Amino acid sequence: MIRVNEHYAKLQSSYLFSEIAKRVKAYQAEHPDKRILRLGIGDVTEPLPPACVAALHQAVDEMASRSSFRGYGPEQGYDFLREAIARNDFQARGAEITPQEIFVSDGAKCDTANIQELFTDKLTLAIPDPVYPVYVDTNVMAGRTGKCVKGRYKGLVYLDSTESNGFVPDLPEQPVDLIYLCFPNNPTGATATREQLAAWVRYARENRALILFDAAYEAFIRDPALPHSIYEIEGARDVAIEFRSFSKTAGFTGTRCAYTVVPTSTMAYTKKGEPVALNPMWNRRHTTKFNGVAYPVQRAAEAVYSAEGQAQTRALTDFYLGNAARIRAAFTELGYSLTGGENSPYIWVNVGKDSWKFFDKLLKRAQVVTTPGAGFGRCGQGYIRISAFNSRENVEEAMTRLRKVLK
Ligand code: MLT
């Protein structure tokens, strides 16, 4: 008899963004004449930077000729991209990361989901609340939690991120083994200072714990005092894995390219307490289960690091931050308290009411899609997340509609 993985039965009925899409689709089917404006899922709208487009075209031409055609590439990514990443994203910031520590992939979502297969199922897992649902759901699938009771899985240590701690969770009161952190944060848009990250690194070193640091939104940081990478913190190399993505930095959500950094000094431990390096383990996993990102896509990602690419991606993220400023201004004027949107493309608004009811109200009365905070965890109840990823015209139209409905 083929047995099913019964841990799946513990999951909420659908993935947050699928549930939103379902509600929006149902509403649109009933009101085909209404123009819906989507500020829910963080999906980019603006075209690829011209430097990336030129690199893509050139790489496609190479693939069209026998002499420059390429078949399978290295699973970890081509050297040209790994070297550009190490130099520009880390060494330029004083973080000693080498190309061999970088694994190019098709998405940070997949990597944050897949990385947990390197660890035992018997560990204490610390999860911020609210949180990007992939971190929780993939651990539920792997059997690391008990049942979900009143929105919280048994066996997880939840790290509350609330107004009182500025949406940066405090260190856990009990020892934990694996910690997910994301800054600039999805969903709250909060950022962590150097001192705050240093406290987490210290904690991980003292407890032989590991931090999974999701930095998918680092390109939106404008405050020069804020760290872009956890490896800017001394000692982090031994206790942290970092995830990055070209999705939001360079408009690659449909193009697919990301990377994960697993330093050679990052360790996990056997039952007897012997250290095991995670870099060769992840290399083993990656080479067994992944066949690499398409050559033209890696060339497009490499172009992000050219002088033109840097200027163009900066302009792109500036553009979305301009949207974020408009969203912040509208909600502030309407009297709501909020966070995010300054070094982040997400704005986290305290709506003081049930998140899903507020979501429905905005959908039905203004035809504006947001993300209900409760979908990110219990501490998200009473909030909505607004994404700044859209055209300027749509964001301005959405704010005009919301001003009418919420005034
Ligand atoms: C989000 O809206 O949280 C993101 O777009 C989801 C993702 O990047 O997978």
pLDDT in tens, 122-133: 999 999 999 999
Q: Which long-range contacts (CB under 8 A, 24 or more apart) does 106-109 make?
A: 106/256, 106/257, 106/258, 106/290, 106/293, 107/245, 107/247, 107/256, 107/258, 108/214, 108/216, 108/243, 108/244, 108/245, 108/247, 108/258, 108/260, 109/134
State residue 397's pLDDT score.
98
State residue 257's pLDDT score.
98
Residue that has been written with the tokens 């979502």 in this structure: 109
Is the alpha carbon torsion for 122, 124, 127, 129 positive or negative? positive
Tell me the mean pLDDT in the region 250-270: 98
**pLDDT over 90 (residue 348):** yes
> Predicted confidence band at 30 (pLDDT cuts at 50, 70, 90)?
very high
> Predicted confidence band at 14 (pLDDT cuts at 50, 70, 90)?
confident
State residue 191's pLDDT score.
98
Mean pLDDT estimate for the chain: 97
State residue 217's pLDDT score.
98
CA atoms of 168 and 183, how far apart (whole Å):
9
Tell me the mean pLDDT in the region 279-290: 98
Q: What is the 253 CA–ligand 1 centroid distance (Å)?
A: 9
**pLDDT over 90 (residue 221):** yes
**pLDDT over 90 (residue 13):** no
Tokens coding 266: 């990052």
Return the amino acid letter for 385: R
Q: What is the 156 CA–ligand 1 centroid distance (Å)?
A: 22
Phi, psi of 398, rounded to the nearest 5 degrees: -60, -40
Q: Which atom of ligand 1 is nearest to the CA of 253?
A: 8
Is the alpha carbon torsion for 25, 28, 30, 32 positive or negative? negative
State residue 123's pLDDT score.
95
Which one of 24, 43, 253 would you pick to mutate in the ligand 1 pocket, going by the greatest count of ligand atoms within 8 A of its CB? Answer: 43
- Within its chain, how far is the Cα of 264 from the centroid? 23
What is the pTM (predicted TM-score) of this model? 0.97
The residue whose CA is least distant from atom 9 of ligand 1 is 109
Q: Which atom of ligand 1 is nearest to the CA of 41?
A: 2
State residue 325's pLDDT score.
98
The residue whose CA is least distant from atom 4 of ligand 1 is 42
The residue whose CA is least distant from atom 5 of ligand 1 is 42
Q: Could you tell me if 334 and 407 are in contact, meaning their C-beta atoms sit under 8 angstroms apart?
A: yes
The residue whose CA is least distant from atom 1 of ligand 1 is 42
Q: What is the 42 CA–ligand 1 centroid distance (Å)?
A: 5
Q: How many CA atoms lie within 13 A of 8 on its CB side?
A: 6
> Predicted confidence band at 12 (pLDDT cuts at 50, 70, 90)?
confident
> Predicted confidence band at 214 (pLDDT cuts at 50, 70, 90)?
very high
Q: Which atom of ligand 1 is nearest to the CA of 371?
A: 2
Q: Could you tell me if 332 and 364 are in contact, meaning their C-beta atoms sit under 8 angstroms apart?
A: no
Reported as a single tens digit per residue, the pLDDT across 80-121 is 999 999 999 999 999 999 999 999 999 999 999 999 999 999
Q: What is the 387 CA–ligand 1 centroid distance (Å)?
A: 10
State residue 329's pLDDT score.
98
Q: What is the 41 CA–ligand 1 centroid distance (Å)?
A: 6
Q: Which residues lie with the beta carbon below 6 Å from any ligand 1 atom?
A: 41-43, 109, 132, 186
Tell me the mean pLDDT in the region 261-275: 97
Q: What is the 165 CA–ligand 1 centroid distance (Å)?
A: 24
Is the alpha carbon torsion for 255, 243, 266, 224 positive or negative? positive
For residue 240, the cross-strand partners are 211
Q: Of all residues in the chain, what percent carry a pLDDT higher than 90?
A: 98
Reported as a single tens digit per residue, the pLDDT across 51-87 is 999 999 999 999 999 999 999 999 999 999 999 999 9
Q: What is the 199 CA–ligand 1 centroid distance (Å)?
A: 27
